[in-house]
Amino acid sequence: MYFPISDCTVNPVYLIGLGFIIGILGGFFGVGGSFIAVPALFAMGVPMNFAVGTDLLHIVGKSMVAARKHRTFGNIDLRLAAVMVPGTILGSEAGVQAIEALKKVAKVDLVVGLVTIVVLLATSIFVFAESWQALKLRGSRKPVSQQTAQEKDKRAFKFISRWTHSFKWSPTLSLPHSGVKSISVWAILLVSFVSGIFSGFLGGGAGYIRMPALVYLLGVPTHIAIGTDLFEIIVSAGYGSFRHAMNGNVDILIALIMQTGAAVGAQIGTVLTQYFNGPRIRIAFAPLPLIGAGLIIYRLLTEHAAHLTR
Amino acid sequence: MKPPFHWKIFLGELALYTVLVLTYFLAVLHYLLGWLKGLYDHDRTSFAIVALLLMIGQAAVLEVLSSFLFGLIRGKRK
């Protein structure tokens, strides 16, 4: 099928299939799935600038479906999500501006890329080690129906979130839905701002940074972290796709077709979270940042090769 | 208590989405394609707004329809 906006020909069945797979990942892990979608679209023949912008737009629709479904399961902390929104938007803009500014400085791309790879590798190793330990922990003796969200979600390294909660820089607020008695608004804004920077720098929703940050730094139970992260992805991807559309990098028809598959996948992924406990979801999540790291390595190598051929 | 997993619900949803995809091919591609391309070429701000609205609208419709289908199938099972 020919898509006149991006001037390319792509089989729509592939688009629906790709959307379906990314939808499952998004609903289950709370990620945008750009690390798969962008290279896959590019491989199908969609120009890279359109692949990035179109993927962001389809993420908006997919995350809306998944987030609404997560809300019916009580997996979104609306108070936390609302506080995170300004940090996410400012972070996304800062990430985009920073990358534009850094492009003018030689070798800075390499440094930023390497730092990001280290962060992603560390995230992956940490999540795997923690969830491996958490799987060995004994759960609460209370009946499941009487357990709070915090008691249901076993975590091995709780000292990190306790340390974050110990900062009482005002204003502070409680997050009863997540079982957090008191936390500084600045801690929430910092987490959303930093994950927003990753979103602006790498493109996509940066769920593979935000989701673990919500769990380990803010002490949010895994299922609620996934739902709340999806809510933030709607904001960051919505903002990003609007900017890309203004620059002419969005093929709305490709995004709409992808989203028809993604909507089904997102619902399946969301429902599947009900059959796995927090540590099992997290241990399955652990390899995802490695894919992000692999993509940055690929980008750095191809840019280096292109530089050599000039 | 974990909710039971109903494959029939998902198969029903897949059938619904197949119909929706065909509807999109017919409606969006045949009726909106020219208009969207014109908007893309001449008014990027409007294009960006329309693109976001279309995506949000499609997501909302798919979500509502699938929830309706869930309810319908669950009702029949009861």
CB-based contact A69 B63, cutoff 8 Å? yes
Q: What would the pLDDT profile of A111-151 be if each residue is shown by its tens digit?
A: 767 877 888 888 889 889 888 888 887 766 666 666 666 66
| Range of the structural domain that residue B23 is part of | 15-73
Query: Cα Rg for chain A, rounded, in angstroms?
Result: 19
More confident residue, A70 or A144: A70
Q: Which of A253, A273, A275 to mutate to test the interface with B (most CBs of B within 10 A)?
A: A253
Rounded average pLDDT over A237-262? 88
Which chain A residues are Cβ-neighbours of B49 within 8 angstroms? Answer: 242
Confidence of residue A305 (pLDDT cuts 50, 70, 90): confident
In angstroms, what separates the C-alpha of B51 from chain A's closest C-alpha?
6
Please tell me the pTM assigned to this model. Answer: 0.82
- Strand A2-3 vs strand A180-184: parallel, antiparallel, or unpaired? unpaired
Q: What would the pLDDT profile of B13-41 be if each residue is shown by its tens digit?
A: 667 767 766 776 677 677 888 888 899 99
Which string of DSSP letters, residue by residue, matches A49-88? HHHHHHHHHHHHHHHHHHHHHHHHTT---HHHHHHHHHHH
B3 located within any domain: no
B54 located within any domain: yes
Are A51 and A38 contacting, i.e. CB atoms less than 8 angstroms apart?
yes
Find the helix or strand (DSSP H, E) in which A229 lies.
helix A222-246
* Mean pLDDT estimate for chain A: 84
Chain A within 8 Å of B5 (Cβ-Cβ)?
yes
CB-based contact B20 A260, cutoff 8 Å? yes
Q: What would the pLDDT profile of A23-55 be if each residue is shown by its tens digit?
A: 998 888 888 888 788 878 888 888 878 888 898
| Span of A17-26, A163-172, A201-210 with lowest mean pLDDT | A201-210
CB-based contact A64 B56, cutoff 8 Å? yes
In angstroms, what separates the C-alpha of A293 from chain B's closest C-alpha?
29
B78 located within any domain: no
For residue A84, is pLDDT > 90? yes
Are A292 and A35 contacting, i.e. CB atoms less than 8 angstroms apart?
yes
B8 located within any domain: no
Task: Return d(Cα A125, Cα A287) in angstroms, integer.
Answer: 9
Which residue in chain A has the smallest CA separation from B16?
A: A264
| Number of domain units in chain B | 1
Q: Which residues pair with A9 in a beta bridge?
A: A2
